[in-house]
Structures are given as structure tokens and as C-alpha cells.
A and B are shown apart, each in its own frame.
Chain A
Amino acid sequence: GAVVSQHPSRVICKSGTSVKIECRSLDFQATTMFWYRQFPKQSLMLMATSNEGSKATYEQGVEKDKFLINHASLTLSTLTVTSAHPEDSSFYICSATPQGLPSGNTIYFGEGSWLTVV
């Protein structure tokens, strides 16, 4: 079945540095991928919609200059947390839907990436 892979699964970085998280669809093409953030014991909050070949669409309250999203190919989207601070520590999850399928089809999630900023 379709698989979405995220890398790294866990990352620790120093405050002020940048960290990149990759989201790959392994056996299907996805023109659109989604990035979510989940704080401990809370639900998922959509951060942005990643569009292949164009700018990402950010949800209200999400700083686009801090969370840089690049969707350079139909199988890869990257989220870069720039100038990370401890409050950015969270679980980041991406999702993707196979291209061209009608509404109502399964959305596949990656395994998530734990970011800890120290």
C-alpha cells in the first residue's frame, strides 16, 4: 500500500539553528501535502498546505518565514524550522493523498518527526 515517509524521526537542535524535516510519498505522486503540528497530549493542528511547484498556503497564525515549506517534486515536501526556539519543540506530521483520486479517498500520514530544541 501507499506509504509516506518522514525523516528524521527524531531531531535535537540548538536554539537559533535551523532544522529540515522531509516528507516523501514512496509509491505515489502527490501534488499536495499537508504539514501538521502536535503538541504533547493535544490534537493535530494544520500548519500549511504544501503545493508542488508553487508557494505553500499557511494557516492563520503560522509564520511562513519561520516554517519554510518547499515542495520541489511530486514526491517530496520539506519543512524547515528556521531559528528554532524551545517553544517550537513539537511533533510534526505530514500527510499526502495520491494525485488524481477523487474526494473521499484515504489520506496517508507519515510517522512524524519529534523536534526538540534545547
Chain B
Amino acid sequence: SQQGEEDPQALSIQEGENATMNCSYKTSINNLQWYRQNSGRGLVHLILIRSNEREKHSGRLRVTLDTSKKSSSLLITASRAADTASYFCATVHSGGSQGNLIFGKGTKLSVKP
């Protein structure tokens, strides 16, 4: 069953602005991952944060994890038109198989040039 919930469901910003997307989940997790999906295409893994980590950076991406609130955020700084895509969080719950991901509903990001 779907456990992740992203908000906002859709986000439209201008190039150069920062984009913040949030994700909440319900059960204990091993790790939380963020993926990007261009329209009609497969998923690209962006970043993984483990349950004992609070923050992680990768280039223009910054992910935070608050296990007490069961929430995570993805920040894309200095956004570009090429960042336009849907972004999903996915969790591996405690005791679950590594590849058994539970996906959130996603945030559709539109970056206008």
C-alpha cells in the first residue's frame, strides 16, 4: 500500500529559485530515497538517506530526514528548466527487502525559464 505522501502535489517556479518538496511516511524505515521521473520515462535515483542520518547533500540537492516526524524534504537549489520532472520519495521499511520500495504520490515540478 502507498505510504509516502508528498506535498505539494505540483510546484511551479522560475529558473534560479529554490524548490522544496516534502514527503511523509507512516512506518519505521531503513532508508528513504528520492527519485526523479521525466514524463513517461523510467526513474532516476537521486539520493538515499539512511534512518540514522539527518541531512545529506549531492550537488544542488539537499535532503533532510526527521524520523521523529516521519518526514523528509528535498531541496533543489538554483533550479533549472531541465529540473522539470516529477519527484518521488520512496521508503524501504524496517525489515523489508532492499528493493521493495513504497513510493509516495510524487510532486510535479515545473521550472519556467
Segment at the interface with B among A12-20, A63-71, A93-101: A93-101
Would you call A103 and B105 a contact (CB within 8 A)? Answer: no
Interface size class of B (residues with CB under 8 A): 20 to 34
A residues in contact with B30, CB < 8 Å: 103-104
**Are A43 and B104 touching (Cβ within 8 A)?**
yes
Contact code string A13-46 (vs B, CB < 8 Å = 1, else 0): 0000000000000000000111010000011111
Q: Are A32 and B2 in contact (CB under 8 A)?
A: no
A105 interfacial contact with B, CB 8 Å: yes
Chain A interface extent, by class: 20 to 34
Is the beta-carbon distance between B2 and A97 smaller than 8 angstroms? no
Q: Are A114 and B98 in contact (CB under 8 A)?
A: no
**Chain B 32-48 interface 0/1 with A at a Cβ cutoff of 8 Å (1 = within):** 01010000111111001
> In the complex, are the beta carbons of A97 and B50 less than 8 A apart?
no
Partner of B100, one of A49, A104, A109, A111: A49
Is residue B101 contacting chain A, with contact meaning CB distance below 8 A? Answer: yes
A interface footprint on B66-103 (CB within 8 Å = 1, 0 otherwise):
00000000000000000000001000100001111111
Residues of A within 8 A of B105 (CB): 42-43
Cβ distance B47 to chain A, nearest Cβ, rounded Å: 10
Selected from B1, B2, B50, B101, the residue in CB contact (under 8 A) with A107 is: B101
B88 near A104: Cβ-Cβ < 8 Å: no
- 13 example contacts (A-B, Cβ-Cβ < 8 A) are as follows A6-B42, A34-B99, A34-B101, A43-B103, A43-B104, A44-B103, A93-B42, A95-B99, A103-B92, A104-B31, A106-B45, A107-B45, A110-B42
